Amino acid sequence: MLKKCKRLEGVQRERACENWDYLKSIGIQERKLPSIVVKCPKILTLHLDEKLIPMVQCLATLGTKPREVASAITKFPHILSHSVEEKLCPLLAFFQALEVPEKQLGLSELDLQKVAVNFPEVLCRDVNKILRPNYTYLKGCGFEGGQIVALVTGYPPILIKSISNSLEPRIKFLVEEEIGVKAEDFKAKEYTL
């Protein structure tokens, strides 16, 4: 594998083998490892104790089962190359603090698990540049906190879609074409999409 991929030519064989073995030990099937490495060759170069283990442990704290962590990594291996402190912690805090009435302070642990396992790409996005503006846009469309939580849980990519190229045209279409109401008059709580 190391000889076939030019990006991995300078990789220390010992580190690559350690990382390969670690990925197997967390439940990733050996037959899936080559496709993971093709998607993210860097995964074999990361420091095991400094990057891989802390990220896997952080993902495991979401309460997911080990096979779900392995599934998330298989879907989006780039998640392992991010920093726990700089990327994942602020992101998890954002999800947990979505403005929702009273007793529920955002995504429940189960909701967060669904997002992390079904669409791990969302965990690698910048909170202030992408997620918060999309959240603010949805609030501006009239969606309330609980509705946004339901949207994010049911369709996590909603938080990473382009506002001008994706969200705005779709919401405008749904409102004006399907419901027959002008977008300016739309409030999510008044109409069922």
Q: What is the pLDDT of residue 63?
A: 60
* Pairwise CA distance, residues 31 & 89, whole Å: 31
pLDDT digits (tens, 9 = 90+) for 67-117: 888 988 999 999 898 888 888 778 777 777 765 443 444 667 777 777 777
* Pairwise CA distance, residues 120 & 179, whole Å: 33
Q: Are 169 and 157 in contact (CB under 8 A)?
A: no
Average pLDDT of the chain to the nearest whole number:
79
Higher pLDDT, 32 or 173: 32
